Structure 1
Amino acid sequence: MNKDPRPVANDTYAAAVAESQALEQDLRDPENRRHYRMLTGDRPTGRLHIGHYFGSLQNRVALQQLGLETFIVIADYQVLTDRDRGERIAYFTRQLCMDYLAVGLDPENHPVHIFVHSQVPELNQLFVPFLTLVSQSELERNPTTKDELQHSSLGQLSASLLAYPVHQAADILFCHGNVVPVGKDQLPHIELTRNIARRFNKRYSDKQPYFPRPIGLLSRTPSIMGLDGTTKMSKSRGNSIELSAGPEEVAKSIKQAKTDSERRITYEPERRPEVANLLQLLGLCSGENPEDIAESIGDGGSGALKRLLTEQLNAVLEPIQRRRKEFEQNEDYIDRILARGCAVARERAAQTMKDVHRFLGTYIV
């Protein structure tokens, strides 16, 4: 897969948006779609939440239905980058897989491969030559690394956290991924991966570029704030609602969500971000415009807003939770899905490393 996605003049956000939109058009065309392969994934630090669902999982299912080959990494090694030790990693690995299947990802009938980071040694081996292609200053400038450190349990920047974006580049490029769903804050990771691919190609395979140039597929879903009013809904910050949360837990979480003291409900994201966030969630659940929802609630206040959101969100989560309970009763099936995904990932990674060794000129047994 050596098709180089259409170039852009520079990597400003506007250019990234334009490139993402062009990619969406390409993915609608079956002839163009065959040139693409998607890499996405999550760290097993807890169960997935509604931010994941509206922000990325729904889109993964839609791309699956188009037939796009997709690798989903459960990045267990990367759990260790920003904490002293991993806790219940194996448990949460299975939990993530259950969440994926419950929302509709279907490795049985589509080219979707769910695999575990630590079980694909060839992928992690690719990390070593990639480290030679980046500088310390490049890694230290990465804004998302700084943010992860700020919210981590570490007192200082570890080598693993500093090199985290390089490991992500290996995740993307081991399978020649060139479609990577991201948010705006993750675009620096895409840019570093592009630099690594370009530098490898220039240094080792200049006549026929080996690694593709990935594109960030930007989500059209508005950024979802945490229920505590912070800028990001996150498992680690405890401000989210898990996909597996029951009706009473959903109601309790939404009741405690931060709003403001104004009685009339209006959709004003800049002036009233917490209220706007709940209206956005309602819009994602119902398909309605947040402005129209606000108008219909009017003087009902935050109580009416929260009651309506509770009702709508529970309606969205009910079928997901019903399917999830079925998978919870069959861990052997979950293990088979993961084993199959790891086998496919190892096969692709082994071929990539064989090619990389050939380019590097290293000894091959």
Structure 2
Amino acid sequence: MTVPAGRTVPAAVPAGRPLPAHPADVAASAAPASKAVGRAGADLDELIRRDPGAHRVLTGDRPTGPLHLGHYFGTLQNRVRLQRLGVEMFVVVADYQVITDRDIADRLAEHSESLVLDYLAAGLDPDRATIFAHSAVPALNQLLLPFLSLVSVAELGRNPTVKDEIAHSSQSAVNGLMFTYPVHQAADILFCKANVVPVGQDQLPHLEVARTVARRFNERYPHPDGTGVFPRPEALLSAAPLLLGTDGGKMSKSRGNAVRLSADADTTARLIRGAKTDSDRRITYDPATRPEVSSLVLLAALCQDRAPEPVADEIGDGGAAALKRTVTEAVNEHFAPMRARRAELAADRGYIRQVLREGAERANAVAEATLAEVRTVMGSV
């Protein structure tokens, strides 16, 4: 993240004891690169490699249940890669956003701590990444009022992601939090002046709201030194392919079709044995016509850091049973160190709370500095 002259960013707060050693940092260097959507079509990933210190990332998850293999290969591995490059990372445990599309926040503290365990086990280092709970940063939420004044009701209603969420919501009526969700995400992104946000394709409309809010705020309340208060964040789209769940549908926490990162070897084997395939004994990698078989081949290939085609060729006429054995062995071998690391960390819940507490201290310092700047340019001091 580039900081304009004369402004400072508080130093990171150490998270205490060092994390146990593991190979995740090494593995992350081989993670799939990201496709960037940036200004004038610039290759944002290459820009990050050239100058990681000029970029600040905001990312995170809602604590609604255990993370799974799709999360790891879709986002977690790339976060660790960006961390290794030296990019400043803010990782939000979006606990307030759990109630966006549900009546209550079930087992919120438990799920929040479990999410942090998954982060740390995957290789995120709280000495290099600020990991914090949304609810622990009051100044972040104070940005919502001025931000909401910059977006019309019609614009919120047209947001395709919100429309899709409303269509699939289990609630009988749409609440205000759901409707204004993109502006909440804008506050998450802009409070720390993140200029890079790793997102999926379906999240691009939300990021466009954040970019719009940043532009309109800077135009309405110009900074005395001639710069804008907020950067216009850019999207970093993961190049990681989609992994299907064991039922052939989208892998999801809520659908019961995912292999959790925290699953033991026996549970992993049982779930993969039950995965949907097809009747063709010859194993090939053809996502268009054989999505379920190809997803399993891809999972094995990702765990082995190989291309999927030779993995399929090696299984050949072994059929679904041989495919599932290969996938099970690959997954259990790849994630064994991570699972051992997670079990070690889980034995000390006090440390997990310390990570969140010290992350909140760091995030609060940044949020309060940003809010003070906002108040100054708005003339509300």
Q: Tell me whether the two structures share a fold, i.e. TM-score over 0.5.
A: yes
The alignment status of 1:23 with 2:40, answered yes or no, reads no
Secondary structure of 2:143's counterpart equals helix
C-alpha distance in structure 2 between counterparts of 1:69 and 1:16, whole Å: 19
Q: Does 1:146 align with 2:189?
A: no
Pick which of 293-302 and 339-348 moved more. 293-302
Provide the C-alpha distance between the structure 2 equivalents of 1:151 and 1:85, rounded to a whole number of angstroms.
17
| Cα contact 1:38–1:70 (8 A) shared by 2 | yes
Match of 1:288 in 2: 306
- Could you say which residue in structure 2 is the equivalent of 1:11? none
Aligned to 1:253, which of 271, 295, 315? 271
2:296–2:327 Cα contact (<8 Å) kept? yes
**2:12 paired residue number:** none
Structure 2 unpaired stretches of 5+: 5-34
Partner of 1:70: 89
Instruction: Name 1:53's counterpart in structure 2.
Output: 72
How far 1:17 sits from its partner (Å)? Answer: 7.5
- 1: CA distance, partners of 2:38 / 2:295: 22
CA 1:325–1:259 in 2, change beyond 3 Å: closer, same or farther?
Answer: same
| Letter of the 2:37 counterpart | A
Distance 1:147 1:257 in 2: 28
Which of the residues 166, 184, 194 maps onto 2:211? 194
Alpha carbons 2:38, 2:234 under 8 Å: kept = no
Preserved CA contact (<8 Å) 2:89 2:130: yes
- What is the CA–CA distance in structure 2 between the aligned matches of 1:49 and 1:170, rounded to whole Å? 27
Residue number in structure 2 paired with 1:313: 331
Amino acid of the structure 2 residue aligned with 1:185: D
User: Which residue number corresponds to residue 244 of structure 1?
Assistant: 262
Instruction: Name the SS for the 1:34 alignment partner.
Output: helix
Report the equivalent of 1:162.
179
Q: TM-score, normalised by structure 2?
A: 0.87
Say whether residues 1:80 and 2:128 are aligned partners: no
Partner residue, 1:9: none
8 A Cα contact 1:84 1:153, kept in partner:
no
Q: 1:18 to 1:193 in 2, by over 3 A?
A: closer
Contact 2:36 2:43 in 1 (8 A): no
Q: How many percent identity over aligned positions?
A: 52
Residue equivalent to 2:14: none
After the TM superposition, which residues 86-125 of structure 1 pair with which residues of structure 2 at under 5 Å, given as runs? Answer: 86-108=105-127, 110=128, 112-125=129-142
Residue 175 of structure 1 aligns with which residue?
Answer: 192
Give the whole-Å Cα distance in 1 for the aligned partners of 2:159 and 2:253: 22
The equivalent of 2:345 in structure 1 is: 327
Root-mean-square deviation (CA, aligned residues, Å) is 1.9
Output the amino acid matched with 2:253: K
* Gap runs ≥5 in structure 1: 5-13
On the 8 A contact 1:17/1:218 being kept in 2, the answer is no
**Given that residues 176 and 211 in structure 1 are in contact (C-alpha distance below 8 angstroms), is that contact kept between their aligned partners in structure 2?**
yes
Change (3 A) 1:215 1:17: closer
For 1:314, what is the secondary structure of its paired residue?
helix
Cα-to-partner distance string for 1:234-293 (whole Å, 9 max, x where unaligned): 112222111100111111111111112222111111111111111111111112211221
Following superposition, the deviation at residue 147 of structure 1 comes to: 3.2
Contact 1:139 1:162 in 2 (8 A): yes
In the superposition, the TM-score normalised over structure 1's length comes to 0.91
CA contact (8 A) 1:37 1:177 kept: yes
- Residues 57 and 351 of structure 1: is their aligned pair in 2 closer, same or farther, counting only changes over 3 Å? same
Match of 1:135 among 149, 152, 155: 152
Q: How far apart are the structure 1 equivalents of 2:345 and 2:170? A: 33
Q: Secondary structure at the match of 1:218?
A: strand
**Structure 1 counterpart of 2:60:** 41
Name the CA distance, whole Å, in 2 between partners of 1:145 and 1:331.
Answer: 36
How far apart in 1 are the matches of 2:38 and 2:288? 22
Q: CA deviation at 1:143?
A: 2.3
Q: 2:363 aligns with which of 338, 345, 353?
A: 345
Asked whether the 8 Å contact 1:2–1:209 carries over to 2, the reply is no
- Deviations, residues 103-140 of structure 1 (Å, cap 9, x unaligned): 111113x2x11000001010011111111111222222
State how far apart, in whole Å, the 2-side matches of 1:38 and 1:151 are: 29
CA contact (8 A) 2:284 2:316 kept: yes
- Report if the CA contact (8 A) 2:283-2:293 is conserved: yes
Could you tell me which amino acid in structure 2 is paired with residue 16 of structure 1? V
Give the distance between the partners of 2:144 and 2:254, measured in 1 at CA.
26
Task: Give the length in aligned residue pairs.
Answer: 349
